[in-house]
Amino acid sequence: MSGETNLTQLLRTMQPQRQPGTYVFCTVASLAGLDLSECIGTFREAEGTTLILPRAAADQLGLPYSYLAAWLTLTMHSSLEAVGLTAAFAQALARHQISCNVVAAFYHDHIFVADADADKALTVLRQLAATGAA
């Protein structure tokens, strides 16, 4: 199953849901010796490896962070080849002064917004879904 590519269909069916908890982005020079069983995402960059994990896990590992995020999942199965979805929801959120950090996974798109903006972001995304227009 390759996922939906039609932008209008994607927007109308995205049904954003908040995942429980508060999440943080941390960076480490090495993964050696770290228990990453609670880590929900990693990405290697030249400067270090970024970890996305629950705040409690970062605290337990003693990792510093500065950004507290809510994790929102767009529950439709979007194709990695879909054009315009990220731009559509990023622009909608930007119009309401909400920053977003996006992870496109195989089945779903995941959006991390400031924890304080989570409810507002859900409202904006649900309004976007109701109109189905970018």
Percent of the chain scored above 90 by pLDDT?
72
Q: Are 22 and 115 in contact (CB under 8 A)?
A: yes
What pLDDT, in 10s, does the model give residues 99-109?
999 999 989 99
**What's the confidence (pLDDT) of residue 3?**
84
53 vs 82, residue with greater confidence = 53
Mean pLDDT (the chain, rounded) = 92
Q: In 10 A of CB 45, how many CB atoms?
A: 8
**pLDDT for 1 beyond 80:** no
Instruction: Quickly state the pLDDT bin for 33 (edges 50, 70, 90).
Output: confident
Would the pTM of this model clear 0.85, i.e. be above it? yes
33 vs 44, residue with greater confidence = 44
Nearest-angstrom CA–CA distance, 69 and 81: 27
Domains and CATH numbers, the chain: 7-129 (3.30.2130.10)
Closest-CA residue to 51 (of 81, 21, 20, 27): 27
What pLDDT, in 10s, does the model give residues 68-98?
999 999 998 888 888 888 999 999 999 999 9
**pLDDT for 8 beyond 90:** no
Phi, psi (degrees; rounded to nearest 5) at 59: -65, -45
**What's the confidence (pLDDT) of residue 134?**
61
Token pair, residue 123, equals: 């409202």
**pLDDT for 22 beyond 80:** yes
